[in-house]
């Protein structure tokens, strides 16, 4: 029982840290949105020579919107996990008291009257554990999915640099700056996501040990 309670407490901390990491990610997404808007304005000024680059700004914006939605969804799961961890811990505490009462009343005349309440609490605790683990698993899967999709940002940045070569020298610096910003912000987001994922990896190692 104590090992299970420790696991719940551990995931409670994980959920809180994941929420904090994803809050930073939302800020970075806004930076990508702003970068996409600035890039679109710059490509409009250049004209036909930047049509390919202008199309890319739409993909950059789409990536920012996807990342923001994914981060928000994961954050909601993290908050849900935090609440469920509290509820699970309370159920664990109640079950501990029932177990103690059951042991102490073993030879009592009406000892069996405690069994229905004990069973109900035990079943409730088991159900909460299953639901809690399901949310934790969802959170981990979505973090890995977000990380995979962030690879698109590096591809977009590379294509942006290629398109920058198609415009005059005076505007190349502007377009290369957009590529660098997308790369930089995507790397920051990926670092936050990696931080969150590493928490689950550490948990798995402890569980195996």
pLDDT digits (tens, 9 = 90+) for 56-90: 888 888 888 888 888 889 888 888 888 888 888 88
Asked if 63 contacts 31 with a C-beta cutoff of 8 angstroms, the reply is no
Query: What are the Cα distances from residue 126, in Å, to 4, 64, 132?
Result: 10, 39, 10
Mean pLDDT over 166-184 rounds to 82
Determine the pLDDT at residue 3.
52
pTM recorded for the entire structure? 0.74
What is the Cα–Cα distance from 184 to 194, expressed in whole angstroms?
15
Per the structure, how many domains does the chain have? Answer: 1
Which residues have CB under 8 Å from 43's CB, separation 6+? 50, 51, 53, 54, 57, 175
Give percent of the chain above pLDDT 70. Answer: 90
Which residues have CB under 8 Å from 116's CB, separation 6+? none
Tens-place pLDDT, residues 30-60: 887 787 787 778 777 777 777 777 788 888 8
Q: 154 lies in which domain range?
A: 2-104+111-208
Determine the pLDDT at residue 133.
85
pLDDT band at 206 (very low <50, low <70, confident <90, very high): very low
What is the Cα–Cα distance from 28 to 67, expressed in whole angstroms?
9
């Amino acid at each position: 029982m104590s090992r299970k309670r420790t696991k719940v407490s551990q995931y409670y901390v994980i959920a809180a840290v994941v929420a904090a990491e994803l809050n930073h990610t939302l800020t970075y997404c806004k930076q990508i949105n702003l970068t996409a808007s600035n890039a679109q304005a710059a490509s409009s000024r250049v004209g036909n020579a930047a049509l390919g680059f202008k199309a890319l700004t739409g993909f950059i914006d789409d990536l920012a919107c996807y990342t923001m939605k994914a981060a928000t969804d994961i954050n909601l799961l993290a908050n849900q996990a935090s609440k469920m961890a509290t509820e699970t811990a309370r159920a664990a505490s109640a079950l501990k008291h029932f177990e103690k009462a059951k042991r102490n009343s073993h030879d009592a005349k009406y000892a069996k009257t405690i069994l229905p309440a004990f069973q109900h609490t035990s079943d409730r605790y088991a159900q909460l554990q299953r639901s809690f683990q399901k949310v934790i698993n969802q959170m981990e899967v979505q973090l890995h999915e977000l990380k995979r999709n962030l690879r698109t940002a590096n591809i977009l940045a590379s294509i942006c640099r290629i398109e920058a070569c198609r415009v005059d020298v005076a505007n190349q610096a502007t377009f290369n700056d957009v590529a660098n910003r997308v790369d930089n912000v995507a790397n920051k987001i990926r670092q936050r996501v990696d931080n969150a994922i590493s928490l689950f990896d550490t948990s798995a190692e402890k569980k195996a040990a």
